Amino acid sequence: MTAAGALRFLFWTASTGGLICLATYAALAYQENKWLYSLLSSSGLSFKERSFLIAGALAFVFCMFAGAQSSLQWLPASWGHIDEDGHFVPIAVTFAGLFALFVGVMLLRVIERGTRYARDLEALVTEIDELEKELRKAKTGDGSVR
């Protein structure tokens, strides 16, 4: 196996693993799974959990890049610039990279905040239920209101 073939295999494996992590994260978020919320606990993340989230995030940004590049195919291929190595880079690739970098990262932040808020809301609802039970016990213990 050549070095280029090994590198291609490595990139293929990493991208496939990242897409699997992204699909798993999306499925868990759709099902409102408790395990997903525990990944964002304030106690910190293990190496495996951090790797899972990073792989999913990178796959998401890569999908944003590929989607933006596909949607910009209407731009003429002759529009572009020469990079520092002397290779021609179409302007669609540059725009797709900027889109994936800025919009993709912002969307990742929105997804992460939404998941964190859902976890926090669930904890608050549980705490409110417990406080309501204690309040009812206190009121019925005094004999005032049932």
Query: Considering the chain, what is the average pLDDT of its residues?
Result: 79
Q: What is the pLDDT of residue 42?
A: 46
Provide the pLDDT for residue 37: 58
Look at 44 and 116; give whichever has higher pLDDT. 116
- As a whole number of angstroms, the distance between CA 81 and CA 67 comes to 21
The mean-pLDDT minimum among 7-11, 78-82, 89-93 falls in: 7-11
Average pLDDT over residues 63-88: 86
Estimate to the nearest angstrom the gap between the alpha carbon of 104 and the chain centroid: 9
More confident residue, 50 or 67: 67
Q: What is the mean pLDDT of residues 95-110?
A: 86
Model-wide pTM > 0.75: no
Q: Per-residue pLDDT for 36 more than 70?
A: no
Q: Band of the pLDDT at 145, cuts 50, 70, 90?
A: low
Nearest to 105 by CA among 31, 36, 54, 69: 54
